[in-house]
Structure 1
Amino acid sequence: MDFGVVLQTNPPAARTVELARQAETHGFSHVWTFDSHLLWQEPFVIYSAILAATRNVVVGPMVTNPATRDWTVIASHFATLNEMYGNRTVCGIGRGDSAVRTLNGRPSNLRTLRDAVHVIRELGNSRAVDHNGSTVRFPWSARSELEVWVAAYGPMALKLTGEVGDGFILQLADPDITAWMVRAVRDSAEAAGRDPDDVTICVAAPAYVGDGAAPAERAHMREQCRWFGGMVGNHVADIVTRYGTDSAIPKALTDYIRDREGYDYNEHGRAGNSHTRFVPDEIVERFCLLGSPHEHVEKLTALKALGVDQFAAYLQHDNKEDTLRLYGERVIPALADQVTATS
């Protein structure tokens, strides 16, 4: 299993770069960031600094969207970074949430998302593509390689992911829900004539490492990560609006938003925000990874058995450095393939 870290691009940018450098030092293979240009600093500028300060990590947004950025500009960003730093980028993309809604916009429809994935992938891989009535290509790009991973929750978005995504990003770490969604993506890929195993599965969720045994410490961990249930609840609310509460979507994903009263994007993705009280403790525990290194290893082992290829840890809490360190020392080695020197 690969490991990624998901950062917010809060100022100073040097802090984001330093956390990315620490992540590589502790064995993480990917550095992801939010992409919401009103709420945080511009990520593509910071990716260049991260790539310059590291040797191996792959960088990308979790996630960008087709509405607030021109698709050809997105592809140009990636192709340029790849030329500069040697194909160390990945494009995570979804319909759009905070970046769109803070501008009073609406998430893109799935047809637009499908078209954007195609244009970005072709240009990002130094190929020509038909776009807006013309065949376009970057004449300066020859060896760029780019995968496009799609973030999804609802049935039709999962179907699209299986049909066109190089990877699937699931922003929660509940094994039961993960099993259902991974199966939906792989079934869609197979129905589209693809090898289901060609779709990389990435689960992303807050990870907070500590002892976790004392009730007060456990409660603190939950409070630091409760924001995540509110963020996921935005997407779930859209699904319930579209499909109702009696769809095939697991009840564990839809039931908890019944008491949801609204959402303040000024506090989006922030620990201790004031609008996620509706998220019960059970959901925080199910959606996130909390507790001792052993607890993290247990849950990640279960996710790996479901076909998860990467776990990306959100670090929007007050224990960033220690979580990175304990993952590097205790968690990542436990999930690595065991290789013996002699046999």
Structure 2
Amino acid sequence: MSLTTIRSPPPLSDFTPLAEHQEKTPESFYDEKPILYYHGAGAKAWISKSQRGKLPFFPADLESAPSAPESSALSDATEELVEQKVDLFVNSQNLTIFSPAAESGLTIPYPQISIHAIKTLSGPDGAKYGSVYVQLELAEGGSDEEFDLVELTLIPPAAAPSPEQATEESGIAAAPKPKSETTKLFEAISECSNLNPDPVDQDDEDEDENGGRIIFEGDLETVEGFTGVFAGANDGGLPPALPGSGGWITAENVHEYFDADGNWIGGGPEEEEEEVISGELGDGAGAVHGRDEEQNVNGQEGQEGQEEGDSKRVRRE
């Protein structure tokens, strides 16, 4: 789904209010209307003059300056901004912004909102005004080398004092302070963004087509005490046993045992015989045998020699 320009505002009947959604169990999770988490009619949207024309509700020739009282926070601004009155529809499918004056709007998929945050605007008289900063990525799936970003400041409409606020201000009784419109707008965008995560890029997946391999890292006591990182087999098991009986795998000879993908390819340039004559000696090394014993081993004597031959090592020519 990509950014879509609209020429009329979506009717509220196209949405299910969040409070209504929370009070009932939907008959289907697929055929239900989008859930409306926040609706703000008469909000303000600011954008820099250099970015006019990038969004349909900000014409390239727009000259309307930010209005009071929030405009007092821009006295020291280094970049000139323009303002447009908009209606906000934060729903479970997208963020919709529509400008009645421009007779156009935009539906924005949440994955294309790269940043959103609460931004406090401070006036010279110490007054503070809440807003939500939104950074949009116009190019769907843009790469690190090619960005097309738009920075948008959304100022929600001021809410009328609730009965709880009026009671608290009169001093009759204390009541919990309600959330500001800025907080409601920010939390709605956050909640809906969580419902619409970025799509998974197949190139970023660690598993190959045959399944992922377990990576063992650290002191691998089960693999002859080697320390390092080893890739298991594609079926999730350990690689073939390392040659613990004859030498070490080092940076100089690791290519003889593993390929570039970490797969086991063999035991070095030459496989050693099961028994090495000029190296590690077998059982009975150093023992002195008489001539009779050697004949018995070769089966040249009688029954006595045959019995003893079962416990003797065969001499290799």
TM-score by length of 1: 0.19
Higher relative contact order (Cα pairs below 8 Å, separated by 6+ residues): 1
More strand by proportion, 1 or 2? 2
TM-score by length of 2: 0.20
Q: Which has the larger radius of gyration?
A: 2
